[in-house]
């Protein structure tokens, strides 16, 4: 049995964008065991990925000591992988892969680690990220186009979402789902991904006025308590749901009539389950983070600042104006 390792630094959103690469690799090598090494914060993404056997964790961005690198190297060598595919472009990652002795080492050419790769692939950053990641399969002589982003939601998570809809009284009516939070990592890095609560208020009130029988539900993640508390003060009729893992969140998004969100992991989940989505972008580029589809609309701030997207522009997209 062939054993393949993938190194996928980044958050949950990066993992979801990498799923088409993993799925296509599994289709091309159906008898292979594919394992991944991801940052601890991203491990939960693999609850909805059927192509991966084992998920190992390593904090690539931490100030790791030589002992940490040594432990990781030992773990990889013990598993005797025949091929490795890496999103990481740091030279230290390339060196690590070379030291593992894995015969086939696939990564992006033109980066600091090209010297350590056996099968470098051109990096084309101008395209949708899932397609850019999928280009790495050229290192395995897989030339077909990237499949769509897709996930495999566990049955128990779908059942949880259905019970939650019953609890909230929205199962028969359908609902508009809002995810307005942002990860603490983005906040700590100063990346502007939070849309002002007052703007959300205007959007919600307009939706409630035009569609009084279509409830608005807001998702409260582990880092969103402050945002949701403030929103509920302004919009007391909004309902709140708190899925505690990626599978339950995906099932909740899948059942929504419309998803409104910022550039975030839930946005990528919405793409994967094909829910009609309107996503707001500040400094990031919707061309690289959303596929070309009428189902997924990105609204890009002209100034790069989230606050400068007017609620009126969002509502035009909601109502097709």
Write down the H helix ranges in 104-257: 129-134, 155-168, 184-188, 197-210, 225-234, 246-254
Please write the tens of the pLDDT for every residue from 161-181. Answer: 999 999 999 999 999 999 986
Average pLDDT rounded to a whole number, residues 214-231 = 92
277, 295 Cβ separation under 8 angstroms: yes
On the question of pLDDT at 110 being above 80, the answer is no
The CA distance from 78 to 249, in Å, is: 35
Give me the domains of the chain, ranges plus CATH numbers. Answer: 3-140 (3.40.50.2000), 155-318 (3.40.50.2000)
Could you tell me the CA-to-CA distances from 294 to 40, 165, 250, 275 in Å, in that order?
34, 27, 20, 11
Which pLDDT score, from 0 to 100, does residue 115 have?
A: 80
- Tell me the percentage of the chain whose pLDDT exceeds 70: 93
pLDDT the model gives residue 186:
54
Q: What is the pLDDT of residue 86?
A: 93
Contact 119, 103 (CB under 8 A): no
Separation CA 4–CA 124 (nearest Å): 24
- pLDDT tens sequence across 30-54: 999 999 999 999 999 999 999 999 9
> In this model, does residue 184 exceed pLDDT 60?
no
Nearest to 16 by CA among 57, 44, 37: 44
Contact 268, 149 (CB under 8 A): yes
Tell me: the pLDDT tens digits for 269-321?
999 999 999 999 999 999 999 999 999 999 999 999 999 999 999 999 999 85
Partners of 173 in beta bridges: none
- The pLDDT confidence band at residue 65, using thresholds 50, 70 and 90, is low
pLDDT band at 149; cut points 50, 70, 90: very high
Q: Model confidence at 7, in pLDDT bands (50, 70, 90)?
A: very high
Tokens of 16: 């979801």
Alpha carbons 2 and 59: distance in angstroms, whole number = 26
């Amino acid at each position: 049995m062939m054993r393949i390792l993938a190194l996928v630094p980044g958050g949950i959103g990066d993992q979801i964008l990498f799923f088409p690469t993993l799925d296509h690799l599994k289709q091309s090598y159906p008898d292979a065991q594919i394992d991944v090494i991801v940052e601890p914060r991203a491990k939960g993404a693999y609850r909805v990925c059927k192509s991966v056997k084992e998920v190992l964790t390593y904090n690539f961005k931490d100030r790791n000591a030589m002992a940490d690198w040594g432990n990781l190297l030992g773990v990889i060598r013990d598993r005797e992988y025949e091929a490795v595919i890496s999103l990481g472009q740091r030279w230290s990652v390339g060196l690590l892969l070379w030291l593992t002795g894995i015969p086939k080492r696939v990564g992006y050419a033109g980066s600091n680690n090209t010297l350590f790769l056996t099968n470098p692939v051109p990096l084309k950053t101008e395209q949708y990220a899932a397609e850019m990641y999928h280009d790495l399969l050229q290192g395995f002589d897989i030339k077909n186009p990237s499949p769509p982003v897709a996930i495999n939601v566990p049955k128990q998570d779908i059942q949880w979402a259905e019970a939650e809809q019953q609890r909230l009284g929205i199962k028969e009516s359908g609902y508009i789902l809002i995810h307005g939070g942002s990860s603490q990592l983005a906040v700590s890095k100063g990346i502007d991904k939070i849309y002002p609560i007052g703007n959300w208020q205007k959007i919600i009130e307009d939706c409630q006025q035009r569609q009084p029988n279509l409830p608005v539900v807001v998702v409260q993640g582990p880092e969103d308590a402050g945002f949701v508390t403030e929103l509920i003060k302004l919009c007391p009729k909004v309902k709140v749901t708190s899925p505690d893992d990626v599978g339950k969140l995906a099932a909740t998004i899948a059942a929504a009539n419309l998803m409104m969100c910022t550039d975030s992991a839930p946005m990528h989940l919405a793409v994967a389950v094909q829910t009609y989505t309107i996503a707001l972008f500040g400094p990031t580029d919707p061309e690289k983070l959303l596929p070309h589809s009428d189902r997924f609309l990105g609204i890009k701030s002209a100034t790069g600042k989230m606050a400068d997207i007017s609620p009126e522009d969002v509502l035009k997209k909601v109502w097709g104006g």
